[in-house]
Amino acid sequence: MSDPLRIGIAGLGTVGAGVIRILQQHADLIAQRAGRRIDVVAVSARSKGKDRGVDLSAYDWVEAAPDLALRDDLDVVVELIGGEDGDAKALLEAALGKGIAAVSANKALLAHHGCALAAKAEQAGVPLMYEAAVAGGIPIIKSLREGFAANDIKAVYGILNGTCNYILTTMRETGRSFADVLKEAQDMGYAEADPTFDVEGIDTAHKLCLLSALAFGVKPDFEKLATCGISTITATDISNAQELGYRIKLLGISKILDGKIIQMVEPCLVPEHSTMGAVEDAFNAVFVEGDFVDTGLAVGRGAGAGPTASAVVADLIDIARGHTGVPVFGVPVDSLADAQWGDPGDMVSRFYMSMIVKDEPGVLAEISAIMRDHDISMEAVQQKARDPQNPVPIVIISHEARQAAIAAAIESVAALDSCVEKPVLMRIESF
């Protein structure tokens, strides 16, 4: 058996501790599958004395994470710190610059600095692996770089944030409010104390940025992503969708339209009996459309210590085996194109619209006139039970229309004196 693969781990949160737990519990199994042992040599984290539920006594402690790259006894650094800059970026830059291989679960760092880091890895002739950065335990990075490599990819899309999917599932099952379920998700450890990245779609956007680069051979460009989260979704929207035969899911969508790439993150209605509609709780699902493979689907847990740590160790096993020749984004950095980004407003779909209006004569006629003026045909209009003393909810399902036209119409509806709350607009996706 070959010499051990010597690693240093920076970041000992739930994922970092999970990686160590796997390496300790499955040491012999991993050695058989990798052809050599994987040995932790050194670790680094903010607090040395914190109880992480794993034995760290056999490993050197390094106070500053970037200093792991100064060591001469490491073959790989594992970056599990998080964040798009700071010590995470400094560690990877230093390690790759020195010719040390790297594994990261940091989707934010790679979405913002992936090209530069990939160039460093290529120059040094070492791998930069990041399976754990997208969809937890689902091997979607390997699938796009290797399994779908023979295909001209047309689209990649799916549920990429387990926290949001858990919240939306629980709201539907219990009828509770977003704020109430979010607090429960925080108490259970699904959501961070500051849940902004999850619930506002930023985490999904970071992941989709990387999937777009892999799928279409373009430079990752986070700034070109249109993002909308789930914080404004109400129990009423969830109920309305269910009555209409749909479920609400936060989707990351990247597809080719008229030769340009359109990528967006937004809550959408999907048929409840569809494959996407059946993905519940903290699970993720990623769909890939290729010209020869048609549609591929991967479903699994997208977050948590176990699935994410499993993906990190899978990368380490690939490195130990010597399977390190695939470029970071599937093609050499110099071959990555500057993408031609399309306008999400050009997307054509059916749409769900929900509005609260005064119960007055002529209001529905005003709304209908606005839809007509924006060339929008209404498939169905639903007015809930009438209460003359209070505003009434109206739900409209449109026929296919351009998103830009629908958005403009909704702005006009919101400006009506009879509209008492900001209307809700969501795409209906049947895929």
* 395-417 pLDDT tens trace: 999 999 999 999 999 999 999 99
Per the DSSP assignment, residues forming a β-bridge with 156 are: 254, 288
Lookup result for tokens 């990190």: 312
pLDDT for 1 equals 62
| Chain segment 339-354, per-residue pLDDT in tens | 999 999 999 999 999 9
Active site residues: 207
Lookup result for tokens 């919101």: 414
| Phi–psi pair at 302, nearest 5 degrees | -100, 0
**82 & 168 share domain:** no
**157 & 110 share domain:** no
Lookup result for tokens 């300790």: 24
| Phi–psi pair at 178, nearest 5 degrees | -55, -50
Helices 202-216 & 107-124 angle (0-180, nearest 10): 30
What is the distance between the alpha carbons of residues 105 and 107, in angstroms, rounded to a whole number? 6
Which residues 6+ apart lie within 8 Å of 86 measured at CB? none
**Predicted TM-score (pTM) of this structure:** 0.94
pLDDT above 90 covers a percentage of the chain that reads 89
Evaluate if residue 384 carries a pLDDT over 80: no
Evaluate if residue 424 carries a pLDDT over 80: yes
Evaluate if residue 154 carries a pLDDT over 90: yes
**293 & 270 share domain:** yes
| Chain segment 220-275, per-residue pLDDT in tens | 999 888 899 999 999 999 999 999 999 999 999 999 999 999 999 999 999 999 99
pLDDT band, residue 388 (cuts 50/70/90): low
**89 & 149 share domain:** no
Per-position DSSP letters for 139-200, written without gaps between them? -HHHIIIIITTTS-EEEEEEE--HHHHHHHHHHHHH---HHHHHHHHHHTTSS-SS-HHHHT
Q: Give the pLDDT mean for 166-191.
A: 91
pLDDT for 188 equals 80
The DSSP 8-state label assigned to residue 419 in this structure reads B
Stated as kind and residue range, the H or E segment containing 8 is: strand 5-10
pLDDT for 386 equals 65
Which residues 6+ apart lie within 8 Å of 139 measured at CB? 131, 298, 311, 314
**147 & 294 share domain:** yes
pLDDT above 70 covers a percentage of the chain that reads 99
pLDDT for 304 equals 76
Assign residue 330 a region: left if phi > 0, alpha if psi is -120 to 50, beta otherwise?
A: left
What is the distance between the alpha carbons of residues 285 and 161, in angstroms, rounded to a whole number? 9
Q: Is 328 a member of any domain? A: no
Cβ-contact 21, 310 below 8 angstroms: no
Instruction: Give the domain CATH number at 189.
Output: 3.30.360.10
Q: Is 331 a member of any domain? A: no
Parallel/antiparallel/unpaired status of strands 226-227 and 260-271: parallel
Cβ-contact 341, 261 below 8 angstroms: yes
**170 & 239 share domain:** yes
**93 & 177 share domain:** no
Stated as kind and residue range, the H or E segment containing 355 is: strand 348-357
pLDDT for 41 equals 98
pLDDT for 365 equals 94
**129 & 152 share domain:** no
Lookup result for tokens 């070492």: 126
Q: Is 169 a member of any domain? A: yes
Q: Is 400 a member of any domain? A: yes
**126 & 164 share domain:** no
Q: Give the pLDDT mean for 60-79.
A: 97
Angle at 35 between CA 132 and CA 316, to 5 degrees: 15
Instruction: Give the domain CATH number at 48.
Output: 3.40.50.720
pLDDT band, residue 387 (cuts 50/70/90): low
- Considering 301, 332, 363, which residue would you say is the last residue of a domain? 301
pLDDT for 300 equals 93
CB atoms within 10 A of CB 132: 27
Instruction: Give the domain CATH number at 357.
Output: 3.30.70.260
Lookup result for tokens 């594994």: 103
Evaluate if residue 25 carries a pLDDT over 70: yes
Per-position DSSP letters for 225-272, written without gaps between them? -EE--STT--HHHHHHHHHTTEEEEEEEEEEEETTEEEEEEEEEEEET
Cβ-contact 371, 353 below 8 angstroms: no
pLDDT for 49 equals 85
Q: Is 336 a member of any domain? A: no
**279 & 162 share domain:** yes
Evaluate if residue 212 carries a pLDDT over 80: yes
**53 & 150 share domain:** no
The SS3 of residue 18 is helix
CB atoms within 10 A of CB 197: 20
What is the distance between the alpha carbons of residues 127 and 225, in angstroms, rounded to a whole number? 27
Domain of residue 9 covers: 5-134+308-316
Closest CA to 269 of 251, 284, 256: 251
Q: Is 338 a member of any domain? A: no
Q: Is 323 a member of any domain? A: no
**227 & 357 share domain:** no
pLDDT for 84 equals 93
Q: Is 339 a member of any domain? A: no
Lookup result for tokens 């890939």: 288
Quote the number of domains for the chain: 3
